[in-house]
Amino acid sequence: MTKSAFEHNIRISLAHHMIIPAIFLVILIILLSQIPVFNCLFPAAVSSSEDMSALYHNSRYINCHADSLHYTGYDYMIGGRVKGHYYYSLEDGKCTIYVLSCKYIQQYGEFPSTINDASFRAELVINDSNLHDLLSLMAGDMNWSYNGLSSVTSTVVVNELRYSPVPVAILGIFLVFALIFTLVHLATIIIGLINPYHTAIYNNTLGRNSTVHIKQACRELMTDYKKAGGFYVTANYVIYANAPVSAIIPIDRISAFYSYSTLCGLPMRRHLAGTITFFIDGHAACHIHNLPPVLTDEVTHVFETSGITNGRAINTQSSTDNS
Protein backbone atom coordinates (compact mmCIF):
# COMPACT_ATOMS: atom_id res chain seq x y z
CA MET A 1 0.00 0.00 0.00
CA THR A 2 1.44 3.37 -1.00
CA LYS A 3 1.47 6.45 1.20
CA SER A 4 -0.85 8.27 -1.23
CA ALA A 5 -3.37 5.40 -1.13
CA PHE A 6 -3.30 5.46 2.67
CA GLU A 7 -3.93 9.21 2.70
CA HIS A 8 -6.72 8.76 0.13
CA ASN A 9 -8.49 6.18 2.33
CA ILE A 10 -8.47 8.56 5.29
CA ARG A 11 -9.71 11.52 3.22
CA ILE A 12 -12.58 9.52 1.67
CA SER A 13 -13.72 8.35 5.11
CA LEU A 14 -13.45 11.84 6.56
CA ALA A 15 -15.49 13.27 3.69
CA HIS A 16 -18.26 10.73 4.39
CA HIS A 17 -18.25 11.59 8.09
CA MET A 18 -18.55 15.27 7.19
CA ILE A 19 -22.03 14.93 5.64
CA ILE A 20 -24.14 14.61 8.82
CA PRO A 21 -22.36 17.43 10.75
CA ALA A 22 -22.71 19.68 7.68
CA ILE A 23 -26.47 18.99 7.48
CA PHE A 24 -26.77 19.55 11.24
CA LEU A 25 -24.93 22.87 10.86
CA VAL A 26 -27.37 24.07 8.20
CA ILE A 27 -30.33 23.11 10.44
CA LEU A 28 -28.79 25.00 13.39
CA ILE A 29 -28.24 28.11 11.29
CA ILE A 30 -31.86 28.00 10.06
CA LEU A 31 -33.17 27.58 13.64
CA LEU A 32 -31.03 30.44 14.93
CA SER A 33 -32.24 32.68 12.12
CA GLN A 34 -35.90 31.84 12.85
CA ILE A 35 -35.78 32.08 16.66
CA PRO A 36 -35.32 35.76 17.66
CA VAL A 37 -33.12 35.12 20.69
CA PHE A 38 -31.37 38.51 20.69
CA ASN A 39 -34.63 40.38 20.01
CA CYS A 40 -36.33 38.59 22.93
CA LEU A 41 -33.54 39.34 25.41
CA PHE A 42 -33.00 42.91 24.20
CA PRO A 43 -36.32 44.13 22.70
CA ALA A 44 -36.41 47.45 20.86
CA ALA A 45 -38.05 50.41 22.61
CA VAL A 46 -41.26 51.51 20.84
CA SER A 47 -44.21 53.78 21.51
CA SER A 48 -47.91 52.87 21.43
CA SER A 49 -48.33 55.43 18.65
CA GLU A 50 -46.28 53.31 16.24
CA ASP A 51 -47.88 50.88 13.78
CA MET A 52 -47.65 47.46 15.46
CA SER A 53 -48.35 45.64 12.20
CA ALA A 54 -45.25 47.19 10.66
CA LEU A 55 -43.19 46.46 13.77
CA TYR A 56 -44.24 42.79 13.75
CA HIS A 57 -42.37 42.15 10.49
CA ASN A 58 -39.13 43.48 12.02
CA SER A 59 -39.29 42.17 15.58
CA ARG A 60 -41.60 39.93 17.57
CA TYR A 61 -40.66 41.37 20.96
CA ILE A 62 -40.83 45.03 22.02
CA ASN A 63 -40.16 47.25 25.03
CA CYS A 64 -43.37 49.25 24.85
CA HIS A 65 -44.30 52.63 26.30
CA ALA A 66 -47.98 53.58 26.15
CA ASP A 67 -49.23 57.06 27.04
CA SER A 68 -52.73 55.86 27.89
CA LEU A 69 -54.37 52.41 28.04
CA HIS A 70 -58.06 51.83 28.69
CA TYR A 71 -59.69 48.69 30.09
CA THR A 72 -62.00 46.99 27.60
CA GLY A 73 -64.08 45.32 30.30
CA TYR A 74 -62.92 41.85 29.28
CA ASP A 75 -60.34 39.48 30.73
CA TYR A 76 -57.86 37.02 29.26
CA MET A 77 -58.61 33.51 30.56
CA ILE A 78 -56.67 30.25 30.41
CA GLY A 79 -58.26 27.05 31.67
CA GLY A 80 -61.16 28.92 33.19
CA ARG A 81 -58.89 31.20 35.23
CA VAL A 82 -58.23 34.91 34.69
CA LYS A 83 -54.58 35.35 33.70
CA GLY A 84 -54.70 38.85 32.24
CA HIS A 85 -56.83 41.76 31.14
CA TYR A 86 -57.58 43.32 27.76
CA TYR A 87 -56.74 47.00 27.33
CA TYR A 88 -56.75 49.21 24.25
CA SER A 89 -55.07 52.38 23.06
CA LEU A 90 -56.41 54.86 20.54
CA GLU A 91 -53.71 56.77 18.67
CA ASP A 92 -54.41 58.84 15.54
CA GLY A 93 -57.66 57.00 14.92
CA LYS A 94 -55.97 53.58 15.16
CA CYS A 95 -56.95 51.11 17.90
CA THR A 96 -54.45 48.61 19.32
CA ILE A 97 -55.34 45.78 21.72
CA TYR A 98 -53.08 44.92 24.69
CA VAL A 99 -53.01 41.94 27.05
CA LEU A 100 -51.59 42.83 30.47
CA SER A 101 -50.95 40.09 33.02
CA CYS A 102 -52.56 40.06 36.48
CA LYS A 103 -49.07 40.31 37.95
CA TYR A 104 -48.39 43.52 36.03
CA ILE A 105 -51.74 45.05 37.06
CA GLN A 106 -51.07 44.29 40.76
CA GLN A 107 -48.47 47.06 40.93
CA TYR A 108 -51.29 49.63 40.70
CA GLY A 109 -53.08 48.37 43.81
CA GLU A 110 -56.72 48.94 42.91
CA PHE A 111 -57.75 47.68 39.48
CA PRO A 112 -57.15 50.59 37.05
CA SER A 113 -59.66 51.35 34.32
CA THR A 114 -57.06 53.64 32.74
CA ILE A 115 -53.28 53.32 32.88
CA ASN A 116 -51.09 56.30 32.06
CA ASP A 117 -47.39 56.12 31.14
CA ALA A 118 -47.30 52.33 31.09
CA SER A 119 -44.00 50.60 30.26
CA PHE A 120 -43.56 46.86 29.77
CA ARG A 121 -41.99 44.21 27.58
CA ALA A 122 -44.34 42.24 25.35
CA GLU A 123 -44.64 39.81 22.47
CA LEU A 124 -46.41 40.86 19.28
CA VAL A 125 -49.05 38.30 18.27
CA ILE A 126 -50.67 38.56 14.85
CA ASN A 127 -54.26 37.37 14.23
CA ASP A 128 -54.82 36.30 17.84
CA SER A 129 -57.53 33.63 18.00
CA ASN A 130 -59.52 35.64 20.56
CA LEU A 131 -59.34 38.95 18.69
CA HIS A 132 -62.49 38.38 16.58
CA ASP A 133 -64.65 37.55 19.62
CA LEU A 134 -63.22 40.46 21.62
CA LEU A 135 -63.92 43.00 18.86
CA SER A 136 -67.45 41.63 18.43
CA LEU A 137 -68.15 42.17 22.14
CA MET A 138 -66.54 45.61 22.16
CA ALA A 139 -68.51 46.65 19.05
CA GLY A 140 -71.75 45.64 20.78
CA ASP A 141 -70.82 47.67 23.87
CA MET A 142 -70.19 50.76 21.72
CA ASN A 143 -73.24 50.27 19.47
CA TRP A 144 -70.88 49.90 16.56
CA SER A 145 -70.56 47.22 13.89
CA TYR A 146 -67.82 44.62 14.01
CA ASN A 147 -66.63 45.59 10.52
CA GLY A 148 -66.38 49.22 11.52
CA LEU A 149 -64.34 48.50 14.64
CA SER A 150 -62.08 45.91 13.01
CA SER A 151 -61.28 48.31 10.16
CA VAL A 152 -59.55 50.69 12.59
CA THR A 153 -58.03 47.99 14.85
CA SER A 154 -54.57 46.53 14.34
CA THR A 155 -54.44 42.78 13.67
CA VAL A 156 -51.40 42.60 15.96
CA VAL A 157 -52.05 42.21 19.70
CA VAL A 158 -49.42 43.48 22.15
CA ASN A 159 -49.28 40.62 24.66
CA GLU A 160 -47.33 41.38 27.86
CA LEU A 161 -48.54 38.11 29.40
CA ARG A 162 -46.79 35.99 26.75
CA TYR A 163 -43.42 37.69 27.10
CA SER A 164 -41.18 35.00 28.66
CA PRO A 165 -37.47 35.39 27.88
CA VAL A 166 -36.18 32.46 30.00
CA PRO A 167 -37.25 29.56 27.68
CA VAL A 168 -36.00 31.46 24.64
CA ALA A 169 -32.69 32.20 26.39
CA ILE A 170 -32.23 28.53 27.36
CA LEU A 171 -33.02 27.40 23.82
CA GLY A 172 -30.69 30.05 22.40
CA ILE A 173 -27.80 28.99 24.68
CA PHE A 174 -28.36 25.34 23.73
CA LEU A 175 -28.34 26.17 20.01
CA VAL A 176 -25.21 28.31 20.34
CA PHE A 177 -23.33 25.54 22.19
CA ALA A 178 -24.54 23.00 19.61
CA LEU A 179 -23.33 25.34 16.86
CA ILE A 180 -19.89 25.73 18.48
CA PHE A 181 -19.58 21.96 19.00
CA THR A 182 -20.55 21.29 15.38
CA LEU A 183 -18.10 23.88 14.05
CA VAL A 184 -15.27 22.41 16.15
CA HIS A 185 -16.16 18.92 14.92
CA LEU A 186 -16.21 20.08 11.29
CA ALA A 187 -12.93 21.96 11.78
CA THR A 188 -11.32 18.76 13.08
CA ILE A 189 -12.52 16.87 10.00
CA ILE A 190 -11.36 19.63 7.64
CA ILE A 191 -7.92 19.65 9.27
CA GLY A 192 -7.87 15.88 8.78
CA LEU A 193 -8.67 16.34 5.08
CA ILE A 194 -5.71 18.71 4.77
CA ASN A 195 -3.43 16.59 6.95
CA PRO A 196 -4.69 12.97 6.97
CA TYR A 197 -2.46 12.07 9.91
CA HIS A 198 -3.92 14.75 12.16
CA THR A 199 -6.52 12.39 13.64
CA ALA A 200 -3.79 10.01 14.82
CA ILE A 201 -1.96 12.94 16.43
CA TYR A 202 -5.22 14.33 17.80
CA ASN A 203 -5.98 11.02 19.55
CA ASN A 204 -2.56 11.20 21.19
CA THR A 205 -1.69 7.62 20.29
CA LEU A 206 1.80 8.58 19.16
CA GLY A 207 3.08 10.81 21.94
CA ARG A 208 5.73 13.45 21.36
CA ASN A 209 7.46 11.58 18.52
CA SER A 210 4.34 11.60 16.33
CA THR A 211 6.11 12.82 13.18
CA VAL A 212 8.79 10.12 13.46
CA HIS A 213 6.16 7.42 14.00
CA ILE A 214 4.04 8.55 11.05
CA LYS A 215 7.00 8.50 8.63
CA GLN A 216 8.12 5.10 9.88
CA ALA A 217 4.56 3.67 9.68
CA CYS A 218 4.19 4.90 6.09
CA ARG A 219 7.51 3.33 5.12
CA GLU A 220 6.38 0.01 6.59
CA LEU A 221 3.06 0.26 4.72
CA MET A 222 5.01 0.28 1.45
CA THR A 223 6.63 -3.04 2.28
CA ASP A 224 4.95 -5.87 4.16
CA TYR A 225 1.73 -5.76 6.20
CA LYS A 226 -1.32 -7.79 7.21
CA LYS A 227 -4.76 -6.36 6.39
CA ALA A 228 -8.19 -6.87 7.92
CA GLY A 229 -10.90 -4.39 6.95
CA GLY A 230 -9.53 -0.92 7.65
CA PHE A 231 -6.74 -2.27 9.86
CA TYR A 232 -3.16 -2.63 8.67
CA VAL A 233 -0.62 -4.41 10.85
CA THR A 234 3.01 -3.79 9.98
CA ALA A 235 6.13 -4.94 11.81
CA ASN A 236 5.84 -2.19 14.41
CA TYR A 237 2.44 -0.50 14.01
CA VAL A 238 -1.30 -1.05 14.01
CA ILE A 239 -2.85 1.40 11.54
CA TYR A 240 -6.55 2.17 11.14
CA ALA A 241 -7.48 4.39 8.20
CA ASN A 242 -11.23 4.17 7.67
CA ALA A 243 -12.72 6.70 10.11
CA PRO A 244 -12.13 10.12 11.67
CA VAL A 245 -10.66 8.26 14.64
CA SER A 246 -7.95 6.81 12.41
CA ALA A 247 -4.98 5.77 14.47
CA ILE A 248 -1.33 4.84 14.08
CA ILE A 249 -0.38 2.92 17.20
CA PRO A 250 3.10 1.56 17.97
CA ILE A 251 2.71 -2.16 18.76
CA ASP A 252 5.23 -1.99 21.60
CA ARG A 253 2.89 0.43 23.42
CA ILE A 254 -0.18 -1.81 23.11
CA SER A 255 -0.66 -3.63 26.42
CA ALA A 256 -3.64 -5.58 25.03
CA PHE A 257 -6.74 -5.23 22.89
CA TYR A 258 -10.30 -6.21 23.65
CA SER A 259 -13.16 -6.84 21.18
CA TYR A 260 -16.90 -7.12 21.82
CA SER A 261 -20.24 -6.66 20.03
CA THR A 262 -23.34 -4.66 20.98
CA LEU A 263 -26.88 -4.30 19.61
CA CYS A 264 -27.36 -1.02 17.76
CA GLY A 265 -30.04 0.70 15.70
CA LEU A 266 -33.80 1.16 15.98
CA PRO A 267 -35.87 -1.39 17.95
CA MET A 268 -37.31 -2.90 14.74
CA ARG A 269 -33.96 -2.91 12.93
CA ARG A 270 -31.41 -4.08 15.45
CA HIS A 271 -27.97 -5.17 14.27
CA LEU A 272 -24.73 -6.23 15.87
CA ALA A 273 -21.79 -3.83 15.74
CA GLY A 274 -18.32 -4.67 16.91
CA THR A 275 -15.93 -2.51 18.92
CA ILE A 276 -12.19 -2.93 19.41
CA THR A 277 -10.48 -1.18 22.31
CA PHE A 278 -6.72 -0.80 22.51
CA PHE A 279 -5.06 -0.58 25.91
CA ILE A 280 -2.07 1.70 25.37
CA ASP A 281 0.47 1.79 28.18
CA GLY A 282 -2.10 0.06 30.39
CA HIS A 283 -5.00 2.44 29.67
CA ALA A 284 -7.99 2.12 27.30
CA ALA A 285 -6.88 4.91 24.96
CA CYS A 286 -8.29 4.10 21.51
CA HIS A 287 -11.74 2.80 20.58
CA ILE A 288 -12.80 1.70 17.09
CA HIS A 289 -16.60 1.38 16.83
CA ASN A 290 -19.27 0.17 14.37
CA LEU A 291 -17.32 -2.74 12.95
CA PRO A 292 -19.16 -5.72 11.39
CA PRO A 293 -18.93 -8.71 13.82
CA VAL A 294 -17.39 -10.89 11.09
CA LEU A 295 -14.70 -8.26 10.55
CA THR A 296 -14.11 -8.07 14.31
CA ASP A 297 -13.30 -11.79 14.36
CA GLU A 298 -10.99 -11.38 11.34
CA VAL A 299 -9.18 -8.44 12.95
CA THR A 300 -8.82 -10.38 16.21
CA HIS A 301 -7.17 -13.24 14.34
CA VAL A 302 -4.76 -10.89 12.54
CA PHE A 303 -3.79 -9.21 15.81
CA GLU A 304 -3.23 -12.48 17.63
CA THR A 305 -1.06 -13.86 14.83
CA SER A 306 0.94 -10.62 14.95
CA GLY A 307 1.74 -11.10 18.62
CA ILE A 308 -0.70 -8.54 20.05
CA THR A 309 -2.22 -9.72 23.33
CA ASN A 310 -5.96 -10.34 23.39
CA GLY A 311 -7.46 -8.96 26.61
CA ARG A 312 -10.29 -11.53 26.45
CA ALA A 313 -7.72 -14.32 26.50
CA ILE A 314 -6.07 -12.77 29.57
CA ASN A 315 -9.43 -12.66 31.40
CA THR A 316 -10.18 -16.27 30.43
CA GLN A 317 -6.76 -17.40 31.66
CA SER A 318 -7.22 -15.53 34.95
CA SER A 319 -10.61 -17.18 35.52
CA THR A 320 -9.08 -20.63 34.86
CA ASP A 321 -6.23 -19.98 37.32
CA ASN A 322 -8.65 -18.81 40.04
CA SER A 323 -10.73 -21.94 39.68
pLDDT tens digits, one per residue of 65-82 = 999 999 999 999 988 899
Domain ranges of the chain: 39-163, 197-322
Report the candidate in 100, 114, 113, 93 with the shortest Cα–Cα distance to residue 49.
Answer: 93
pTM to 2 decimal places = 0.58
pLDDT at 319 over 70: no
- pLDDT, tens digit, 9 for 90 and up, residues 218-275: 788 777 888 887 788 888 888 877 655 567 788 888 888 888 778 777 777 777 888 8
pLDDT attached to residue 159 = 94
- pLDDT, tens digit, 9 for 90 and up, residues 168-187: 889 888 999 999 999 998 99
- pLDDT, tens digit, 9 for 90 and up, residues 250-265: 888 888 888 877 877 7
CB atoms within 10 A of CB 84: 21
Q: How confident is the model over 285-311, as a mean pLDDT?
A: 77
Report the candidate in 271, 275, 270, 264 with the shortest Cα–Cα distance to residue 312.
Answer: 275
CATH topology of domain 197-322: PH-domain like (2.30.29)
pLDDT attached to residue 5 = 65
pLDDT attached to residue 72 = 94
Q: Is the Cβ–Cβ distance between 306 and 287 less than 8 Å?
A: no
> Poorest-confidence range of 105-114, 141-150, 295-304, 309-318?
309-318
pLDDT attached to residue 229 = 76
CB atoms within 10 A of CB 232: 22
pLDDT attached to residue 321 = 47
Q: How confident is the model over 101-123, as a mean pLDDT?
A: 93
Residues in CB range of 134: below 8 A, 6 or more apart: 72, 74, 86, 97
CA distance 46 to 49: 8
pLDDT at 203 over 60: no
Q: Is the Cβ–Cβ distance between 21 and 189 less than 8 Å?
A: yes
pLDDT attached to residue 257 = 83
Q: Is 209 exposed, middle or buried (0-12, 13-18, 19+ CB in 10 A)?
A: exposed
